[in-house]
């Protein structure tokens, strides 16, 4: 994946994550700042499991259960996902 594709995918995934997090936490659309810790908006362990399940369905691979705590902002979590997607693409190429 080239840098342009990676940047576009990052923006798309980050926007989706912000919207999905707002929906899960019953917050107004557009209210999530990607640089703010998700826990600051009220994300708890129960809702994190639901969010992770949705993310796994979207990206097509499993994510460590503690990833949302190790990468606590939407921006850092998105970077983790993009890095994993890039590794997955490379491994498929052989």
- Side-chain-side CA neighbours of 73 within 13 Å: the count stands at 8
| Structure confidence at residue 86 (pLDDT) | 84
| Structure confidence at residue 74 (pLDDT) | 98
Higher pLDDT, 88 or 71: 71
Q: What share of the chain is helix, strand, coil (3-state, %, to 5)?
A: 70, 0, 30
Measured from the Cβ of residue 71, the count of other Cβ atoms closer than 10 Å reads: 18
| Structure confidence at residue 89 (pLDDT) | 62
| Structure confidence at residue 93 (pLDDT) | 45
For residue range 4-51, list pLDDT tens digits in order: 777 889 999 999 999 999 999 999 989 999 999 999 999 999 999 999
Q: Do residues 64 and 41 make contact, with C-beta atoms less than 8 angstroms apart?
A: no
| Structure confidence at residue 6 (pLDDT) | 79
| Structure confidence at residue 5 (pLDDT) | 78
- Domains in the chain, CATH or no CATH each: 3-93 (1.10.1200.10)
CA nearest neighbour of 5 among 89, 94, 93, 91: 89
């Amino acid at each position: 994946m080239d840098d342009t594709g990676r940047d576009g995918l990052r923006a798309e995934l980050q926007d989706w994550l912000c919207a999905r997090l707002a929906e899960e936490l019953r917050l107004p659309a557009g209210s999530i700042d990607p640089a703010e810790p998700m826990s600051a908006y009220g994300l708890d362990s129960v809702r994190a499991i639901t969010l992770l399940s949705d993310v796994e369905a979207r990206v097509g691979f499993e994510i460590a259960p503690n990833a949302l705590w190790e990468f606590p902002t939407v921006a850092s979590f998105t970077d983790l996902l993009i890095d994993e997607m890039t590794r997955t693409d490379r491994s498929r190429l052989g």
